[in-house]
Amino acid sequence: MKTGKTVKSGKTNRAVRSPGGLSFRLDVRATVVVALLLVLALAASVLLIGTGDFGIPAADVLRTLAGQGNASQEFIVNELRLPRVLVGLLVGAALGLGGALFQAISRNPLGSPDVLGLGQGATAGALTMIVLFSGTSAQVTIGALVGGLVTGLAIYLLAWKRGVHGYRLVLVGIGVSAIVTAVNGYLLTRADIVDASRAVVWMTGSLNGRDWAQVWPLLSLCAVLVPLVLTNGRALRMMEMGDDISYALGVRVERVRALLMVAAVLLTAAATAAAGPVSFVALTAPQLARRLTRSPGPNLLPSLCMGAALLVGADFISQRAFGADQLPVGVITGVLGGVYLLWLLVTERKAGRI
């Protein structure tokens, strides 16, 4: 294995060549950022597993995960707390990757599932099952998936005009989001007090009560979609140069765009089905990852890791910062995301860009 160092735009890249002639460019800074985010997410996960009415030191958590804990620790860690943490990691990763895809496809930092209405669409599907059919948890999950997919298909079809372009996609998404939000409000007015309370809790976005039944479907979906998305990362990066140049370079633009949009919709809908519409993670994770890596392009893997770290970090704050009054994780991400947006607007205005 041979390596060669190149310096471009103040950034160190490393060209790696295998003995068989295969070569690829390694962005050293992005690799370090991904590694640090993974360590941060895993450290927060261990601390989160040890948090609760029955506190468990981090060393005991690690021993229990390795199969060396006592009976009570194994029950608390493996059955009660580990599934919740895994759902948080998977939901954050799915939202971060889905947000990066939508922002890259639309070429707009506001082109995230929060703005385009996919979260609201999944919420409409879940509310339909809760309010109209008093559905079980499994039925609510299926309803959220179907609602997200139908909303994504509607946005794609309405935005289609000899292809899908970013500006039109964002505008159509904002319009669809407003319509679906009104539908959600109507569904809440149709609900009785019990179903309405259940729906409002779900709409906040929460990891409370999550178990292995939510882990396995989301893990299976991510195991299929994440490699599929990452293998199309090079084509997505070339598409940022424009459709004409991408066609000239051999990229099947509409095919890749449609495939990645379907993947982003599925990731967002599955995350929403598992934890409710957790706000701002899909919007902020890709932008924070890009600021850390200082790398052009969609930054798919850093965004995935940033989303996971953000969500487990927010869940840790929700359990530790307010004493006995634990807040849903969606409240924490909403506050942090709102603060980030205000900071971003201030910095952009000082820079003269808005």
Residue 47 CA: distances (Å) to CA of 57, 60, 62, 192: 8, 11, 10, 39
The separation between CA 293 and the C-alpha centre of its own chain, rounded to angstroms, equals: 18
Beta strands in the chain (DSSP E): 2-8, 11-17, 23-27
**What confidence tens digit (pLDDT) does each residue in 168-180 have?**
788 888 899 899 9
d(CA 291, CA 303): 11
d(CA 338, CA 9): 32
Asked which of 103-112, 208-217, 318-327 is least confident by mean pLDDT, the reply is 318-327
Considering just the CA atoms, what is the radius of gyration of the chain in Å? 21
**What confidence tens digit (pLDDT) does each residue in 198-244 have?**
788 778 888 888 888 889 989 999 999 999 999 988 888 887 777 67
Domains of the chain: 32-51+76-322 (1.10.3470.10)
Between these two residues, 198 and 59, which has the higher pLDDT value?
Answer: 59
Token digits of residue 269? 């809908």
User: Given the structure tokens 């993974």, which residue do they identify?
Assistant: 38
**What confidence tens digit (pLDDT) does each residue in 333-346 have?**
988 888 887 887 78
Q: At what angle do helices 166-190 and 137-159 cross, to 10 degrees?
A: 140
DSSP 8-class letter at 164:
B
**What confidence tens digit (pLDDT) does each residue in 257-314 have?**
888 988 999 999 899 988 888 888 998 999 899 989 988 778 999 999 999 999 999 9
d(CA 89, CA 83): 10
Report percent pLDDT > 70 for the chain: 88
Phi, psi of 2 (to 5 degrees): -110, 150
The predicted model gives 77-83 an average pLDDT of 90
The length of the chain is 354
Helix (H) or strand (E) holding 192: none
